[in-house]
């Protein structure tokens, strides 16, 4: 591999190199170039290759395209061919790179010594130990071995099962804490089928989410974000331009709720009851659809117990709100209720609601040929654990990222049970709490290094292929299993006909070809799948009918257990069930609504806090985040956590994010907040608790300053009414500026291209995928909690969250959320103040920031009205092997230089070079900045402002009324414009 390619030997500081180059006649030292002996035909050094694979960060199963440079994957994008991701992925997907290159990954197999310390051992020694133990257990009798793992897709799960059989055991559990069981159980109860429905939000006119954070972690967030953006774009309905109605029933206003019209603050655990009340309203108003085929009075009786008044008392939701929701839902032409949480009752209520209004088959669809359940049902998992507790198991194998010690309900006592087991083998990439309890640790490939296949839904067959050589001397999990099966099981070796995992996957796809494409050949089908990242077919909707049995039974939604306060746990948008916590990007990117980083916290309403004797005094501190520590006494022990006081949570409720509180999950996850899974019982995410203020202090950290926009024109909103009338709203905090631009001289003529961007604030959900993508694409350093506290976060694009003032609530969105990056001004204030032209204007309308020319006066940032420039206070660091992820096309900035968004200039120049050498013009859409490419909501459009029919100009023209530039009074003429977010006036 030619060293000449890694022109930027990645950790080298631009500064030192600059020093070398600045001194005349002093040349950088000679370096070695070692060419291939035999070149790889597919690789052109310096040109990226793209491989399709699938994402493993959550069960949604998005398709990925990995950009690989010189054998290293440096960036992940969504797979455009894949119907789920359709070319964009979330922040967690972007960050799975950091799972691959995680500095805390296990390099070599380890064995735990008597004294509990870990000793490195060789692979063959490790596998020998592993197989001997299994053999011994198999000797001892049937079912002496238990396997607990995360599902790795149909084929590999089959392999696992076979391997376990080979050792004469059937104690198999595929574990997900945020599971599908409630949804499946409810589907079973309502429609007599246990598969998961598909939601078509874009088909609906009304969406009511009963605790489902469908823009954050629930179901398939990328897909739902995309659909929701569609749903929220005003469209002609019933002869007028209307905005889809959305309501969010939950105790805490998450970024999902922030995008809805109504935040219905219900007591935690009563979402189901509210759903029933809505159903009650719907049926009593006779809004039941004829063709739903449900007996009206059966439903009436069913919902009778839930008249709005009783539910209102139980849930704290005003009666008229419930009536309003009922009206919205019942009268909508296409509506969908989304059930969330772990309570099956909520799901049943929502399903019935969808069914009786005739939306099943329309906005909520069951497909024929849905894949088999991958995740084991909780009760079966419990039997396995019971067996372990009863000492019927000699060997427990925990594999594939499942982290039961961390995530299992406290009542199951898994950790204790595990202590009884003589031999626990852990197979994974980054050691976690379960690994800490294991006797043998085997490092296995990360998903991006191994063969897999996925079946997220009917018609979608994802193929996960390794996109690079393993970073560490690890082995594929199922290679190890297959090998051990062949060794250990003697006669039953034939039970696994394949040599290794890739054979197994390949074989499975040969069968698939027989089913899906009989006329094609196996090889062609296989190659095509590898190219596209899978096979994608239209699946037929199934005809389903609401069974009458469910209506006969009486629903008892469990209300939150008693206690003066209620603890409501919500999955952190970036950590999901906790697996994201060891990735520094996800720790550093602020949670969109609370804007807190690197920590766990408890959100409280000012009134609740006042009862506990905590005052909100953020104005006087340097940080606009909480500092007082409370002790929360739960039935499963006390939690100590810092309080963040916010109006975005219901009084009497303590909202805490799930996913932090790792005791052993690498350096980035260490010592942050509490692990709520250890307190939450099965089947609910809320708890009755008591809380009291302690004397301890713990500063929560946020890069966000004031949450009050002070009426400045930063993120603007307009009502759908105004849009229809064609009235542009006045921003009262803004000095009125007539006829921008004010030019003194003849404006500069941009003869070639002129790059510009438009951001539709109405589509943006604050999911921060753009931020993660920017970190990955532009080698942005991660600063850590202490530096963020000093305002040293480096992200070039930030998602800003402003809370409307009390007087704005009636006429404005619930929250103002928008991404803010360098606005690439024409009259850039940063440029004339730089003494050395480090900040200069290009002939294509960009504000160039020339790192190697920068001397660090920081004058530019002072003069930047948008405060989007970032200064390198220290030289950034990437602990090995994170440095392998760095993008070779982007300079790694050293200490003392300013940096900022470049519209991904490296992508622009590459595209321009290609166009020129192929001697053609650039095609609109050929250049996509990382943020725009990642955005699941398609909120960001980039293009050439000199090209009259570019998408960006078209988008501006189509939304003239909504188009605005931030802080116009500076007359900076930004090349980034925003489209006002839309809201519905509250009556």
C-alpha to C-alpha distance for 2 and 864, rounded to whole angstroms: 42
Residue 408 to residue 768: CA distance in whole angstroms: 29
Taking the least distance from each CB to another protein, the nearer of 158 and 853 is 853
Distance of CA 739 to the CA centre of its chain: 42
Q: How far is the CB of 756 from another protein (least distance, A)?
A: 16
Judged by CB, which is closer to another protein: 560, or 846? 846
Closest to another protein by CB, 70 vs 180, is 70
Minimal distance in Å, beta carbon 621 to another protein? Answer: 8
Q: How far is the CB of 875 from another protein (least distance, A)?
A: 6
Q: Does residue 26 sit in helix, strand or coil?
A: coil
Least Cα distance to 462 among 384, 533, 525 occurs for 533
CB of 5 to another protein, least distance (A): 5
Provide the minimum distance between the beta carbon of 590 and another protein in the complex, in angstroms, as a whole number.
11
Q: Minimum Å distance from CB 774 to another protein?
A: 14
d(CA 904, CA 778): 8
Distances (CA, A) of 36 to 8, 259, 602, 912, 930: 20, 54, 56, 30, 32
What is the number of alpha carbons within 13 Å of residue 499 lying toward its C-beta?
A: 2
The whole-angstrom separation of Cα 481 and Cα 736 is 70
Cβ at position 898, least distance to another protein in Å: 8
Please tell me the number of Cα atoms within 13 Å of 300 on its side-chain side.
Answer: 8
In the complex, the smallest distance separating the C-beta of residue 701 from another protein, rounded to whole angstroms, is 11
938: left (phi over 0), alpha (psi -120 to 50) or beta: left
Shortest CA distance to 250 belongs to which of 258, 239, 242? Answer: 258
Residue whose entry in the numeric block shows the structure tokens 């309501």: 247
* HSE-up of residue 551 (Cα within 13 Å, Cβ side): 21
Query: Nearer Cβ to another protein, position 416 or 790?
Result: 790
Shortest gap between Cβ of 26 and another protein (angstroms)? 10
Q: Which is nearer to another protein, 116 or 735 (CB)?
A: 735
Nearer to another protein, 506 or 713 (CB): 713
Smallest separation (angstroms) from another protein to the CB of 91 = 19
Sheet strands (E) in 612-677? 628-634, 637-645, 653-658
Q: Which is nearer to another protein, 37 or 543 (CB)?
A: 37
Identify the bridge partners of residue 53 per DSSP, sorted by sequence position: 64
Residue with tokens 């393993």: 470
The answer to whether 358 touches 289, Cβ cutoff 8 Å, is yes
Name the residue nearer to another protein (CB basis): 835 or 948: 835
- Pick the closer one to another protein by CB: 46 or 681: 46
Residue number with CB closer to another protein (531 or 706) = 706
Burial-class residue 923 by CB neighbours within 10 Å (0-12, 13-18, 19+). exposed
CA–CA separation, 713 vs 968, rounded Å? 8
Nearest to 777 by CA among 576, 933, 898: 933
24-32, Cβ contacts within 8 angstroms, sequence gap of 24 or more:
31/3, 32/3
Q: What is the closest distance, in whole angstroms, from the C-beta atom of residue 803 to another protein in the complex?
A: 11
Q: Which is nearer to another protein, 4 or 514 (CB)?
A: 4
465: enclosing H helix or E strand: none
90: exposed, middle or buried (Cβ count in 10 Å: 0-12, 13-18, 19+): buried
Q: Which among 826, 780, 792 is positioned nearest to 931, based on CA atoms?
A: 780
Give the DSSP letter string of 248-282. EESSB--HHHHTSSEEE-PPTT-HHHHHHHHHHHH
User: What are the Cα distances from residue 910, in Å, to 47, 890, 926?
Assistant: 10, 12, 11
Q: CB of 730: closest distance to another protein in angstroms? A: 13
Taking the least distance from each CB to another protein, the nearer of 130 and 866 is 866
Nearer to another protein, 140 or 875 (CB): 875
Q: What is the DSSP string of 661-673?
A: -BSSS-TTTBT-S
What is the C-alpha separation between 451 and 470, in angstroms, rounded? Answer: 12
CB of 569 to another protein, least distance (A): 28
Cis peptide before 741 (omega within 30 of 0): yes
Least distance from another protein to the Cβ atom of residue 801, Å? 8
DSSP 74-113: EEEEE-TT-TTTTT---HHHHHHHHHHT-TTS--S-EEE-
Residues 439 and 212 sit within 8 Å (Cβ to Cβ):
no
Shortest distance in whole angstroms from residue 14 CB to another protein:
5
Residue 538 C-beta: closest distance to another protein, Å: 39
* Closest CB 665 distance from another protein, rounded Å: 27
Closer residue to another protein (CB): 228 or 802: 802
Smallest separation (angstroms) from another protein to the CB of 946: 16
Task: Kindly tell me which of 599 and 889 has the beta carbon lying closer to another protein.
Answer: 889
**48 or 488: whose CB is closer to another protein?**
48
Quick one: 893 or 980, whose CB is closer to another protein?
893
Q: Which of 767, 407, 818 is nearest to 581 (CA)?
A: 407
* Helix orientation angle between 522-532 and 501-516, rounded to the nearest 10 degrees: 110
Nearer to another protein, 89 or 714 (CB): 714
Residues present in the chain in total:
987
């Amino acid at each position: 591999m030619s060293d000449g390619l890694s022109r930027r030997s990645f950790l080298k500081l631009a500064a030192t190199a600059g020093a070398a180059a600045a001194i005349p006649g002093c040349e950088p030292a000679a370096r070695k170039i070692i060419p291939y002996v035999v070149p790889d035909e597919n690789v052109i050094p310096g040109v990226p290759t793209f491989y399709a694979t699938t994402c493993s960060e959550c069960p949604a199963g998005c398709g990925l395209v990995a950009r690989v440079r010189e054998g290293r994957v440096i960036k992940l994008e969504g797979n455009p061919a894949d119907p789920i991701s359709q070319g964009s992925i979330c922040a967690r997907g972007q960050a799975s790179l950091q799972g691959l290159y995680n500095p805390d990954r296990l390099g070599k197999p380890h064995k735990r010594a008597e004294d509990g310390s870990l000793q490195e051992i060789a692979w063959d020694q490790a596998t020998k130990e592993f197989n001997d133990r299994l053999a011994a257990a198999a000797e001892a009798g049937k079912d002496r071995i238990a396997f607990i793992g995360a599902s790795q897709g149909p084929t590999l799960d089959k392999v696992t099962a076979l391997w376990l059989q080979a050792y004469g055991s059937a104690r198999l559990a595929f574990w997900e804490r945020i599971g599908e069981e409630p949804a499946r159980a409810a589907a079973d109860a309502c429609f007599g089928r246990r598969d998961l429905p598909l939601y078509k939000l874009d088909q609906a006119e009304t969406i009511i989410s009963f605790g489902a954070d469908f823009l954050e972690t629930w179901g398939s967030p990328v897909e739902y974000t995309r659909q929701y953006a569609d749903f929220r774009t005003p469209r002609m309905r019933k002869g007028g331009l209307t905005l889809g109605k959305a309501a969010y029933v939950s105790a805490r206003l998450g970024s999902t709720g922030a995008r809805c019209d109504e935040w219905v603050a219900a007591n935690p655990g009563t979402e189901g009851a509210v759903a029933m009340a809505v159903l009650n309203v719907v049926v009593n108003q006779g809004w039941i659809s004829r063709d739903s085929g449900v007996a009206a009075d059966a439903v009436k009786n069913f919902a009778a117990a839930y008249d709005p008044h009783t539910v209102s008392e139980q849930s704290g939701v005003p009666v008229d709100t419930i009536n309003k929701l009922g009206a919205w839902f019942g009268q909508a032409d296409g509506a969908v209720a989304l059930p969330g949480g772990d309570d099956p009752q909520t799901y049943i209520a929502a399903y019935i609601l969808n069914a009786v209004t005739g939306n099943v088959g329309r906005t909520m669809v069951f497909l024929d040929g849905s894949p088999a359940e991958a995740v084991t049902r909780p009760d079966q998992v419990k039997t396995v654990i019971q067996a372990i507790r009863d000492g019927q198991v000699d060997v427990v194998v925990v594999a594939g990222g499942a982290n039961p010690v961390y995530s299992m309900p406290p009542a199951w006592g898994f950790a204790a049970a595990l202590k009884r087991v003589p031999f626990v083998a852990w197979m994974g990439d980054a050691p976690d709490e379960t690994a800490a309890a294991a006797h043998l640790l085997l490092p296995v490939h990360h998903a991006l290094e191994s063969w897999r296949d996925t079946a997220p839904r009917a018609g979608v067959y994802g193929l996960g292929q390794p996109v690079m050589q393993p970073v560490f001397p690890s082995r594929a999990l199922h290679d190890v299993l297959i090998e051990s099966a062949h060794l250990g099981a003697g006669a039953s070796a034939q039970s696994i006909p394949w040599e290794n995992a890739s054979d197994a996957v390949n074989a499975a796809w040969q069968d698939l070809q027989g089913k899906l494409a009989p006329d094609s050949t196996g090889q062609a089908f296989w190659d095509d799948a590898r190219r596209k990242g899978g096979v994608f077919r239209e699946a037929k909707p199934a005809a389903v009918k609401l069974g009458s049995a469910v209506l006969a039974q009486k629903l008892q939604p469990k209300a939150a257990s008693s206690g003066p306060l209620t603890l409501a746990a919500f999955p952190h948008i970036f950590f999901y069930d906790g697996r994201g916590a060891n990735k520094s990007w996800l720790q550093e990117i602020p949670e969109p609504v609370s804007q807190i980083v690197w920590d766990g916290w408890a959100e409280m309403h000012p009134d609740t806090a006042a009862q506990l004797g905590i005052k909100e005094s953020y104005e006087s501190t340097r940080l606009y985040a909480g500092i007082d520590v409370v002790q929360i006494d739960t039935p499963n022990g006390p939690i100590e956590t810092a309080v963040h006081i916010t109006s975005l949570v219901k009084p009497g409720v303590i909202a805490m994010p799930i996913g932090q509180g790792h005791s052993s999950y690498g350096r980035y996850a260490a010592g942050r907040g509490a692990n709520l899974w250890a307190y939450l019982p099965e089947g609910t995410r809320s708890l009755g608790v008591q809380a009291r203020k302690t004397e301890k202090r713990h500063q929560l950290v946020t890069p966000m300053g004031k949450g009050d926009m002070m009426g400045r024109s930063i993120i603007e909103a307009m009502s759908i009414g105004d849009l229809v009338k064609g009235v542009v709203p006045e921003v009262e905090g803004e000095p009125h500026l007539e006829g921008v631009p004010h030019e003194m001289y003849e404006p500069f003529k941009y003869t070639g291209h002129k790059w510009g961007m438009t951001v539709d604030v109405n589509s943006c959900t604050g999911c921060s995928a753009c931020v993660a993508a920017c970190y990955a694409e532009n080698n942005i350093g991660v600063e850590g909690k202490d530096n963020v506290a000093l305002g040293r976060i480096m992200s070039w694009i930030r998602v800003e969250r402003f809370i409307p003032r009390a007087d704005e609530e009636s006429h404005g969105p619930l929250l103002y959320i928008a991404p803010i990056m360098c606005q690439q001004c024409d009259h850039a204030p940063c440029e004339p103040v730089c003494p050395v032209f480090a900040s200069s204007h290009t002939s294509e309308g960009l504000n160039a920031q020339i790192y190697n020319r920068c001397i660090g006066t920081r004058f530019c940032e002072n003069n930047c009205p948008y405060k989007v420039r970032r200064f390198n206070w220290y030289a950034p660091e990437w602990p090995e092997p994170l440095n392998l992820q760095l993008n070779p096309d982007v300079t790694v900035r050293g200490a003392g230089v300013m940096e900022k968004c470049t519209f991904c200039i490296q992508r622009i120049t590459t595209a321009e070079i290609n166009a020129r050498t192929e001697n053609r013009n650039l095609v609109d859409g050929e250049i996509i900045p990382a943020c725009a490419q990642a955005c699941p909501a398609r909120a960001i459009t980039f293009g050439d402002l000199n090209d009259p029919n570019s998408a960006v100009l078209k988008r501006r023209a189509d939304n003239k009324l909504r188009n605005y530039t931030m802080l116009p009074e500076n007359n900076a003429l930004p090349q980034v414009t925003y489209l006002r977010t839309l809201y519905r006036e509250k009556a």
